[in-house]
Each structure stands twice: as C-alpha cells, then as structure tokens.
C-alpha cells in the first residue's frame, strides 16, 4: 500500500472534523526560487483533493503572478495578492489563513523544498484530540548557492536538531531544557496547527515585519498548545542570499526581536540582546563606542565579503569569512537596537542590568565561640552600607529583580541585593536598622522550623548558640520593606535527603513562611549552598527565584533558580568590598591572600633556623 492510500485510510478512520490541509506560502520577489520549490508541493504522496496550496503574493513585480498562472490549472494551487505595496509576511500569512478551507494550516516559506510525504507526516501528527503545533526540521538544500550563510546555517542545524527528539512535547510554563530555547521552539515555519486555534490566537501580528512567526508561536505556547517535534516532516531551504543581502535585513530582524521582547517581557532572557550584557566592562565600553560611532564600521568589514564566492571555495578562508560575517552582523544589530531603544542607556535598562548579590550570615558582636569568618561587626557593616550609598547603589529586593526579569519593570541603574542567611536575631538588632537608616532594602532567608528558636544546625557542628528572629520580628521588618525568603525547615543538606524529605523541607518552608507573613513567598536559599538537579526541580516548582553560593554577577539570562552570590567576610577591606561588587566576588583573591599569610607566618617561624 503506498503512502497516499495509507493517508486516505487514516482520513476515513479519523473524526470528520479533519478533512483537508491548507498550505500557506507567502512570497515576495522570489519567482526563481518558487520555480524550484513549488513543484515539490504539487508532487505530494497525499490525496490531491484533500489539500490546497495558497500562495500569497506580497507586492511582487518580478513575474511571480505570471508564473503561478501556469501552475494554477492543476487545481491544488490558489493565488492571492495583498493590497498595495509590500506589507510583510505577517499580513500575507493572515490573508492566507482567512482564505483557507482546511482544518489544518501548514506554514511554509517560499524557499522550502518538501519531501514527498511532508503533508502526510504533518497530518498524522494531529490524530489526537488535543491541539498541538507539529514542527519539522529545515535543513540546507544541497542545491543552494555557495554563500557564507549556507555554511553558517548548516552548522546551526547540526547543533540544534541533535537536541530534539520525537518524544519531546513542551507546554508553557514547563521548563525548557538547557540545550534548547523558547525562541527557536516557537518558530512557525514548517509547522502545522489547527486553523481554529490560530484564529483563536488572533493570527499573526502585522506590526511585525520580521520574527512574526516566533511571536505567534509564543502566544500559542502561552495558550497551552503543545509543541511536538516530527523529525520525518522534512524540508530543505534553498539558500540564495549573499552575505551582503543577509546583512541588509539585520535591522528588521533586530526590530522584530525587540518588539517580541516588549510584547512578551518574559521572553527577554531568550533575546540575543540579553547576551550582550554578559561581558566585562572593557567589552561593554567597546560595544557602546561602536554603537554610537557616526561612521558605520561595517562598511569596512564588508569589503572582503564582496568576494564571497572565492572565500567559500577556500577551506582556509571560509572560517575567516564566517567570523567576519558574524562580527558585521553583531555590529549592525547592536546599532539597530540602540537606535530603536532610543539610547544606549535605555537599551541597557531594558536588557543589560547586572546584579551583584551580597551574602551575609551573622552581623553582630564577635564572640569566641562562633564562626568568626561568618561574622561581620555592626561597625564594619555600617561602613560598607555607607560606601554603597556614596557610590550611588540602591538596595533592591528579590521581587524587584523578578519584576524586571518577567515584566520589564525598571530597575535602578546601580542595583544591589543584600541577603542574610539563617535569620539570626542579631540581624534584626544590628543590620536591619542600619539598612533602614540608609533607605536600603534586603532579603532575609528564614529556617522556618526554628523561628524564635536557636541555630541547632550550627550547634551540632560545635558553634555557639544564637537566638533566631521571632515571628513578631519577622512581621515587623516585613512591614518596613524587608523581604523574607525560605531557607528550608531545619537547614539540612538537601542533596542528602530522599525525594520526599527534600519536598517536605522545601514546600514546608514555603508554607510556613507564607502563613506567618500572610503573603506568597517567591525566593529560596539553598542551605550550605548545596543543590543538584533533583533539588532544583523541587525548588523550581515552588519558587520563582533561588540563590546558591557560587560567585558571579547575575544577568537577565542567569538561571533564576541558581542565582549567584558572594560572601562578605570580616577581613575584607573597603577596597576589596568594592572590587567584589564589580567582579561578583573575590574568592580567588582570598585564597591567594590566605596562602600568602600562611607562607609569611611559616617564614617568620623558620627565620631563627635560617639565621642560625
């Protein structure tokens, strides 16, 4: 039995609600490409009466309409034209959707070559009752032109598709595996979905001239529609764009990315613009200078790219050409982003904030029976906060960072987050009044099973006894703007617990603290900083943010459940304190300092022997 007969039998067995597929193909000045790709859609192993091809001509004057007139008599092709000049792929796709009569809509680009069973593969993917987006791979067609973008895309395809499998079914807000991104998963090219679902979502947003498919994909994702990968629904893309043609559209691509991020602020961590912040100060200054130069440096970089064919034929020069193209692309996109945002400062405020997080434990008088390396005296703490005030820092809370990350709510230019683990009573007695005096906020992580008690976990390790904050103290400081997060119920090493025990510690601490405060709790700190994937999975299901003890700064793209903090020690000078804030910690420096001190003491001890 051939595949067309098999698909026909499936039609008879399934619900009458599914009777036909409408393939929507927008096109703009691509007649020569259509002459290669459209015949593959006309040669499908699928009942001819059960699908239609809707080609939407969007402002073309290259003879596309005349070519399609020669194809139309075959009966499966319908030709539509947008009104007026070029309106963009979103408007063209919407016109095709409105005219479609199929229960399924398959979105293809005009440069995609289809395998003979493409429609069958897409159709069979929708046999269940639940609406899905079925998407297949897009590889580079062997008949593509020798261009640098062809080789770039071939490498990207290899890196991307190896992380996908047919068992993967993702639904918002399920976490996306670290090897994938929502940005790519939401592409709606070589993707099929029920027409009524697309109409219910509102179709494509015609304000977008690029990335319109990703934007609709995000809306479908948020509606709860699952995305299902179908590796056998193969297409291949005929690459004809030169490097210069690719660079010419980068401003539009950047505009689409920026529009998505503003319409969907929770998408911002997946934007390419977010990656630009995660660099050192020197690189950031360099990028700022490139973005604001009156001379466009790309015009100089592009000179070698005009010899693209010669570059592509040389296995020595091709990697250099690809790197050069990447540099030119990043510069163009950066300059476009600054222009669209209004200024470099505005772009940084939207995507480029970095957050140092200070980690304190005990702020109070020194005692001989305590871990002195975890104690900062009140006078030292006061000097540190005064330094922050003098240098323009503003203390924020975890909820402020969360609102910026999810909603794009503005943050101060020099934001800093101060955290206190364990909720010692001394924190309320010494540290929080100093913060209140200077208008700073902070977060205190509470061991909820020991509220009003003592630090039993430290006592078991030989440390002195400390009184912990009472419920009344926690409520009092919450009213003054101090935020409270959970720190487990009994402060165990969560990685050593069973799944049930870990869940009881994490979920129980959230419930305890929520009941005490009368408000939801959104942040958690791992006891001892210990965590693994199993622990993070439990925490991720209950909290929006979680903090470890790994040093570093936090950015828009940082894992919200593995946020960095750096320890503030009693031996830190103000210079070291300032350097820690800028670098996100000085652990290596402290280790070197410790080794140096040990060596100095050893030399002093051995000096009499040397002298003798």
Say yes or no: do domains 3-239 and 357-587 share a fold: no
Strand partners, 113: 236
Upper half-sphere CA count for residue 549 (Cβ side, 13 Å): 13
**Tokens found for residue 511:** 């419930």
- DSSP H/E element including 79: strand 77-81
Give 86-126 pLDDT, tens digit per residue: 889 999 999 999 999 999 999 999 999 999 999 999 999 99
Residue 359, burial from CB neighbour count under 10 angstroms (0-12, 13-18, 19+)? buried
In angstroms, the Cα distances linking 487 to 378, 451, 541, 545 are: 23, 11, 15, 12
Which DSSP string corresponds to 285-300?
A: HHHHHHHH-SS-THHH
Q: Are strands 226-229 and 169-170 parallel, antiparallel or unpaired?
A: antiparallel
Give dist(CA 34, CA 487) in Å, integer. 60
In 3-state terms, the chain is what percent helix, strand and coil (to 5)? 50, 15, 35
Give 6-42 pLDDT, tens digit per residue: 444 443 443 344 458 999 999 998 999 999 999 999 9
* Phi, psi (degrees; rounded to nearest 5) at 35: -65, -25
* Residue whose token pair is 């056998």: 232
Q: What is the DSSP letter of 422?
A: S
* Phi, psi (degrees; rounded to nearest 5) at 293: -65, 140
Q: Does the structural domain 3-239 have CATH classification 3.40.50.850? A: no
Cis omega (within 30 of 0) for bond into 173: yes
How big is the chain by its Cα radius of gyration, in Å? Answer: 30
606 Cβ contact list (under 8 Å, min separation 6): none
- Under 8 Å between Cβ of 268 and 276: no
Give dist(CA 356, CA 418) in Å, integer. 9
Enumerate the domain spans of the chain.
3-239, 245-351, 357-587
Give dist(CA 235, CA 189) in Å, integer. 10
Q: What is the DSSP letter of 56?
A: E
Phi-psi region of 596 (alpha: psi -120 to 50; beta: other; left: phi over 0): alpha
Q: Which pTM does this prediction carry? A: 0.84
CA 360 to chain centre: 29
pLDDT at 583: 84
pLDDT at 610: 42
pLDDT at 180: 62
Parts of the chain with a pLDDT under 70: 1-19, 72-75, 171-185, 294-301, 587-612
Coil, helix or strand at residue 229:
strand
523 Cβ contact list (under 8 Å, min separation 6): 398, 399, 443, 445, 483, 485, 486, 543, 544, 545, 546, 547
Give dist(CA 116, CA 449) in Å, integer. 64
Closest CA to 204 of 263, 247, 155: 263
Coil, helix or strand at residue 24:
strand
CATH topology of domain 357-587: TIM Barrel (3.20.20)
Give dist(CA 526, CA 545) in Å, integer. 11
In angstroms, the Cα distances linking 304 to 18, 248, 321, 334, 585 are: 53, 16, 8, 21, 43
Strand partners, 236: 113, 139
């Amino acid at each position: 039995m051939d595949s067309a007969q098999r698909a026909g039998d499936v039609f008879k067995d399934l619900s009458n609600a599914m009777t036909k597929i409408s393939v929507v193909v927008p096109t703009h000045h691509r007649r020569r490409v259509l002459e290669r790709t459209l015949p593959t859609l006309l040669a499908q192993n699928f009942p001819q009466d059960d699908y239609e091809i809707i080609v939407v001509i969007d402002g073309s004057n290259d003879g596309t309409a005349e070519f399609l007139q020669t194809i139309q008599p075959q009966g499966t092709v319908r030709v539509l034209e947008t009104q007026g000049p070029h309106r963009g792929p979103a408007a063209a796709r919407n016109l095709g959707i409105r005219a479609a009569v199929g229960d399924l809509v398959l979105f293809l680009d005009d440069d995609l070559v289809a395998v003979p069973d493409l429609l069958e593969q897409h159709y069979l993917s929708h046999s269940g009752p639940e609406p899905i987006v079925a998407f297949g791979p897009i590889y580079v067609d062997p008949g593509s032109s020798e261009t640098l973008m062809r080789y770039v895309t071939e490498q990207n395809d290899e890196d991307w598709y190896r992380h996908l499998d047919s068992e993967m079914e993702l639904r918002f807000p399920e976490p996306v595996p670290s090897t994938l991104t929502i940005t790519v998963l939401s592409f709606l090219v070589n993707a099929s979905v029920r027409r009524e679902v697309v109409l219910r979502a509102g179709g494509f947003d015609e304000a977008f001239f690029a990335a319109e498919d990703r934007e609709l994909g995000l809306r479908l994702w948020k509606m709860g529609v699952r995305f299902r990968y179908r590796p056998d629904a193969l297409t291949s893309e005929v690459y004809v764009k030169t490097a210069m043609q690719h660079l010419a559209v980068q401003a539009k691509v950047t505009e689409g990315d920026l529009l998505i991020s503003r319409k969907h602020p929770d998408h911002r961590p997946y934007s390419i613009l977010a990656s630009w912040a995660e660099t050192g100060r020197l690189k950031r200054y360099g990028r700022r200078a490139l973005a604001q130069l009156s001379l466009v440096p790309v015009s100089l970089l592009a000179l070698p790219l005009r010899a693209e064919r010669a570059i592509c034929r040389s296995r020595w020069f091709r990697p250099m050409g690809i790197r050069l193209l990447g540099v030119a692309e990043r510069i163009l996109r950066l300059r476009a982003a600054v222009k669209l945002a209004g200024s470099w400062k505005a772009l940084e405020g939207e995507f480029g904030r970095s957050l140092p997080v200070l980690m304190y434990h005990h702020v109070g008088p020194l005692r001989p029976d305590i871990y002195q390396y975890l104690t900062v005296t009140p006078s030292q703490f006061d000097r540190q906060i005064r330094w922050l005030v003098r240098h323009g820092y503003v203390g924020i809370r975890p909820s402020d960072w969360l609102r910026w990350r999810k909603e794009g709510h503005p943050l101060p230019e020099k934001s800093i987050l101060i955290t206190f683990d364990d909720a010692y009573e001394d924190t309320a007695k010494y540290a929080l009044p100093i913060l209140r005096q200077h208008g700073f906020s902070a977060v205190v992580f509470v061991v909820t099973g020991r509220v009003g008690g003592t630090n039993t976990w430290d006592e078991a390790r030989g440390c002195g006894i400390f009184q912990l904050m009472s419920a009344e103290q926690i409520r009092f400081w919450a009213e003054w703007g101090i935020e409270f997060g959970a720190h487990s119920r009994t402060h165990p090493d969560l990685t050593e617990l069973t799944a049930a025990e870990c869940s009881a510690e994490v979920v129980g601490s959230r419930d305890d603290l929520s009941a005490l405060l009368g408000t939801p709790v959104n942040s958690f700190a791992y006891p001892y900083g210990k965590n693994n994937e199993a622990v993070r999975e439990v925490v991720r299901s209950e909290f929006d943010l979680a903090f470890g003890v790994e040093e570093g700064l936090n950015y828009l793209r940082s894992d919200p459940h593995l946020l960095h903090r750096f320890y503030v020690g009693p031996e830190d000078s103000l210079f070291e304190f300032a350097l820690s804030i800028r670098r996100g910690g000085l652990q290596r420096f402290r280790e070197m300092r410790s080794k140096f001190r040990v060596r100095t003491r050893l030399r002093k001890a051995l000096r009499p022997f040397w002298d003798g």
